[in-house]
Chain A
């Protein structure tokens, strides 16, 4: 039974930690850490712009 004790402790700890982490992070998001995407200065913008990219040797032949 004693051999299982540390395993049980770590299981309870991990369960509590995962719940605390998710709820805590979400709470931080609600109080202002999370901002709408694209609202900060100098953000990358729409990643779909990358799709306009073509292989370098097709348009930048050296």
Chain B
């Protein structure tokens, strides 16, 4: 069989989608994702694709034991997401979704740091389009904040890559030496993994996208970074404590959150923390645990966000303070959501149980007992907020102000059904996942002791939450996070120093112009005429990304050849 890069298939499909009609675009998007999945499944291990880039020998595709599980799950979710969004996504969004998936697969298959960087930055650009595709001032603002912080992270990553190339004369992406450039590359990866305190971009950006866009975002950005950390920095002790902090901080914010998609976004931070901790431990079992957890997480988090998206689609509400009592109107959504909730909580029989057991056990067997207990603490918070608080306040109890105004499309149910089956299949037969992990390590999650401990943790958590259920009554709030430094502070300074324009006009005062240029309307969209801003930021970000890539290529060529 002909071997082809699944990421490139998705990128070609994205280019076709923008050129055809809406109806054709939907068919092309689903067909492209299906072909990419077939291509991913047909790739054997130890396949490499080398190419010459201005005299530099680069590796566009490296299929090995670590990249294979990430590639496969990325390809699966691309198809599921296209099915889920087939009735709601515009052509632009379909193309951006395919391109994001293609770039994500490009990252995990990249055999050198320059190829990785190119796909990495391509992903940033397509994600910006995905976020802004909701076509609201708030989503455009969130997209711009995402772009600004990720461009900074991209520059840090690029600086590390160039420095490493200068020092070692090689761009090969293997374990990165622990030195100056290693710090920069680690910083770039950790930022995209949403490591605390650089995590606030995630719960800011993901809920701002459309219902289908958020599903795509949840799969590729942080998990690409998890792969990169597992490839480049296994056994880096600092990551143990970075990961544990992410796991704990994520669940604390999730308990506070009112918006169901922000709540689930904070749980991405928390769950990625489990993976980062295991990577920090770095044993073969721990890398298996991180990979298994990342793979299962892509499947169950996608399902959770599809369920939350279905609620948002049907009711036009996403806050628990406005929801409630939807079980009777949306019973299938509830059942499918609970499959995802039981998976993320590590309930036996669902995908999260074997994956999380392996990850947490590997941290303990690596000698990190304190970290292991902190991960169990985070597991308590996960079950409390995702499987107890969110469904209780959304689907049960007294209806607050939301009612079902639109029927959930059949294709949404179909996509959620596929994801639910995948989660149950892995939960019942962990070998489906464990047989594809980087190293062959025997692990049995279904022992009497592990099942008893899991049941005890879930039952005791239920008792604790029941005791304090009145404290979890919903309030229409949002949480202040570390994004205040680039979100609230500039706005306050602008308010302090800028001149107020008359309503409906754009102030031309010098102070306003200074603030307007970097923000491009993100903080004050009402101040901008709709004409120049909307095309301006998209075109500008694309040109900026292209300039960064060209500059990187010129520098790399000079460094490696000259």
Contacts and interface: CB of A to CB of B under 8 A. Distances in A.
Between A28, A32, A50, the greatest number of chain B beta carbons within 10 A of the residue's beta carbon is seen for: A50
Contact of B252 (A8, A28, A35, A57): A28
A37 to B, nearest CB: 4
Interface stretch (B299-307, B436-444, B469-477, B501-509): B469-477
Contacts of B319: 37, 47
B136 A49 contact: yes
A59 to B, nearest CB: 10
A44 B288 CA distance: 38
A60 B468 contact: no
A42 B141 contact: yes
A48 to B, nearest CB: 4
A42 B145 contact: yes
Nearest to B374: A17
Contact of B22 (A16, A34, A56): A56
A54 to B, nearest CB: 10
A60 B464 contact: no
B340 to A, nearest CB: 20
Contacts of A35: 477-480
B256 interface: yes
A32 B77 CA distance: 38
B468 A37 contact: no
A6 B461 contact: no
Contact of A51 (B25, B136, B406): B406
Determine the main DSSP class of A at the interface with B.
Answer: helix
A53 B138 CA distance: 16
B316 interface: yes
Nearest to B262: A44
A14 B208 CA distance: 33
Contact of B138 (A16, A32, A43): A43
Interface in A20-62: 21-26, 28-29, 32-45, 47-51, 53, 55-57, 60-62
B524 to A, nearest CB: 8
Contacts of B453: 6-7, 10
Give the residue among A33, A41, A51 with the most B Cβ atoms within 10 A.
A41
Given A13-B460, A44-B138, 6 more contacts: A11-B459, A21-B384, A25-B253, A28-B252, A35-B480, A44-B142
Interface of A: 3, 6-8, 10-19, 21-26, 28-29, 32-45, 47-51, 53, 55-57, 60-62
